Amino acid sequence: MVAFEAEKQKILAQLADIFNRQNFLLLSSRALMAFGAPLHRLEANLIAMALNLDVEATFAVLPGIILITFGDEDTRSSETYVVRGMAGYDMYRLGRTNRTIRRVLKSRISVGQGVKNLERILATPPIYSWWMMLLDYVAISFFICPLFWNGSWQDAGVSAMLGLMVGLLQLLAGRFNNYANLFEVSSAFLVSFVAALLQNHVCFGTVSFAGIVMLLPGLALTTSIIEMASRNMISGTVRLVFALSRCFMLGYGISVGSMLGSRVLGLDTAVALMEGQIDSTTDVGNCRPGPSKFWWFMFLPVLSLAFNISISAHWRQWPFMMFSGCLAYTVSYFTSLSEAVSPLSPAIAAFAMGLFANVLASFYNHRSAVEPILGGVQLLVPGSLGLKTVLSFITSSGTSSGSFLYNIFATSLGVSVGLFLSGMCIFPNRRKRVGLMTF
């Protein structure tokens, strides 16, 4: 009888251990998807985790959903779980998730403790409050105006006001689901309407793009190209279609807003405003020269910090992410000055940024390369290219439409090639690195 009870307890302990490891994989996949782990690497990382934990499992990763099937060779049965969640960016909780996974895979903590840690991470609220994110909208619109589009101090002030308005609309969209479907169109409409009303005092194109810079789909476009280049066709195509659809919504809102704003002033210059923006001219509206480039030494780190806050990076993550962003922007700026190297500028900047991030991840095992790479990509990718393409379509400019469409894919593909090359140089055999998170 004693032997029977001992055998029973042994079997129960083995079953509990199996369920614990399966639960750890379920929570890990949910956390990685929700906090911004690269989707094109997620399936390979989950397979490596399952092999390390000695769990028979297969994975299918799609945008917003992960299918996990656990098999049992003895009974020849299987169970399929559907992990659903909204994909976003939270660098603080992604870093904590990565550290927990590494500690479990290296047997520094038990699987049961890892499950408790992941449950605690998933239950943790965002690190920044709503008013902090609202101020972040203001800061990004203010500093990006002179840095990216050579706006004047007056343009930067109006851009900050418009950024505040977009941030308030974002809070409204999060509270009311029905309005969320109109968020992009209404934000672009209001921003361009106000900019058109103030066209005698500010530069229309600069203020319009700086006001909605947080809505520009540059990061989504780049991520979609990276996923398609890595043979993840379903997720890459879905992201690409979503990004282009968002471009059309923003372009439609700007077109209607600028037209109504000009008509209110009794002017018929809406088409001129749009065409001027497409041609990247700076003489549409009352455009003044921007501040001295010496101010860029202050604007660039602050803008990088603001972008880091927008993806919920902890202050301990700021130094490496800010350095990565400043490095990417600096390399891109100087390489674009040369006509011979200019077409390769995005690839060279992404390679330098990825090299720094992957070297950092190789020396610090508790860090991932995702955080500094995302910190740099946000400053590197010109998200306004997608919007200019849409404005070209709206104004029936076929030549510029094709040109800007090519620039979208060329820039995003250049960033993808640079990131892939940097990863290949540092980790030529990725299979030797269990649980590695990078692009």
Tens of pLDDT, residues 379-395: 877 543 444 444 554 44
Whether 100 shows a pLDDT value over 60: the answer reads: yes
Output the CA torsion sign for 259, 261, 262, 265. positive
Specify the pLDDT at position 334.
86
Neighbours of 343 (CB within 10 A): 13
- H-only helix segments in 73-152: 91-105, 111-123, 130-149
User: What mean pLDDT is predicted for residues 85-95?
Assistant: 87
Specify the pLDDT at position 280.
39
Q: Which of 398, 394, 402 is nearest to 250 (CA)?
A: 394
Does residue 364 come out as left (phi exceeding 0), alpha (psi in the -120 to 50 range) or beta? beta
- CA angle, 186 then 191 then 197, to 5°: 125
SS3 call for 203: strand
Whether 29 shows a pLDDT value over 80: the answer reads: yes
Specify the pLDDT at position 435.
45
E-assigned strand segments in 237-350 = none
Q: Between residues 234 and 161, which one has the greater pLDDT?
A: 161
Average confidence score pLDDT of the chain: 81
Question: For the ranges 54-58, 121-125, 364-368, which has the lowest average pLDDT?
Answer: 364-368
User: What mean pLDDT is predicted for residues 165-188?
Assistant: 91
Whether 278 shows a pLDDT value over 50: the answer reads: no
3-state secondary structure string, 136-180? HHHHHHHHHHHHHHCCCHHHHHHHHHHHHHHHHHHHHHHHCHHHH
Burial bucket for residue 337 (CB in 10 Å: 0-12, 13-18, 19+): exposed
Specify the pLDDT at position 60.
87
Q: Within 13 Å of residue 212, how many CA atoms lie on the same side as its CB?
A: 32
User: What mean pLDDT is predicted for residues 185-211?
Assistant: 87
- DSSP for residue 435: T
Angle in degrees, 0-180, between the axes of helices 218-229 and 384-394, rounded to the nearest 10: 100
For 78-89, what is each residue's pLDDT tens digit?
A: 888 989 877 788
- DSSP for residue 285: B
Question: For the ranges 14-28, 43-57, 207-221, 263-277, which has the lowest average pLDDT?
Answer: 263-277
Specify the pLDDT at position 263.
83
Whether 57 shows a pLDDT value over 80: the answer reads: yes
The strand order across the sheet containing 65-72 reads 57-62, 65-72, 77-84
Any residues with CB less than 8 A from the CB of 35 and at least 6 apart, and which? 88, 89, 90, 91, 93, 94, 97
Angle in degrees, 0-180, between the axes of helices 204-211 and 183-197, rounded to the nearest 10: 150
